[in-house]
Amino acid sequence: MTMTTAANGADPAAIDRLCAGFHRCFSEFVADDDLFAPDTLFDLLPPMWRFQLQGSGATFTTQLRSIAEGPVEIEIVRTVPTSTGFVTEHVETQHTPNGPVTSRRLHLCDVDDGRICAVTTYCNGGWDDELRARHASEAPMVRP
């Protein structure tokens, strides 16, 4: 994980704790009691759609569990503290019965009183083997 020191003096240990707990939600489908504020707003933007949830970590992890098609692995690409919390990026791999499906997500997390109080998530959607192969041949990446 790449970590950048916040110019506003945000506590790096607190950001690390929140970031680690946030990413665990995607693979373990549970949230530590002190991770999210009870009325956290989750603004979720999958491809071609947008919806919102409001509530606790259980609200969020219930949604994540409902869309999981198998065991999930998370690779944290980077986390950057902001003046109001942090931005974090990850690659998710779901091990589905039809093979691995990957998604790349960017999350803007606002923090208040040591808890995440708002999350805006942008997701590129699930990519299966066929789409990853097509992408590799048609749009090779300069960087990962």
Task: Determine what percent of the chain falls in helix, strand and coil, rounding each to the nearest 5.
Answer: 25, 45, 30
Task: Report the distance separating Cα 87 and Cα 107, nearest Å.
Answer: 6
Domains of the chain: 2-135 (3.10.450.50)
Q: Provide the 10 A C-beta neighbour count for residue 103.
A: 18
Cβ contacts of 135-141, under 8 Å, gap ≥ 24: none
Q: Using CA of residue 69, residue 74, residue 75, residue 81, what is the dihedral sign?
A: positive
pLDDT at 143: 85
Q: In this structure, what token pair is assigned to residue 35?
A: 């991770």
pLDDT at 11: 86
* pLDDT tens track, the chain, 144 positions: 444 444 455 688 999 999 999 999 999 999 999 999 999 999 999 999 999 999 999 999 999 999 999 999 999 999 999 999 999 999 999 999 999 999 999 999 999 999 999 999 999 999 988 999 999 999 988 987
The DSSP letter of residue 83 is S
The 3-state DSSP class for residue 132 equals helix
What pTM does this model have?
A: 0.88
Task: Report the distance separating Cα 66 and Cα 86, nearest Å.
Answer: 26
Q: Supply angle C-alpha 82, 31, 29, rounded to 5.
A: 115
pLDDT at 2: 46
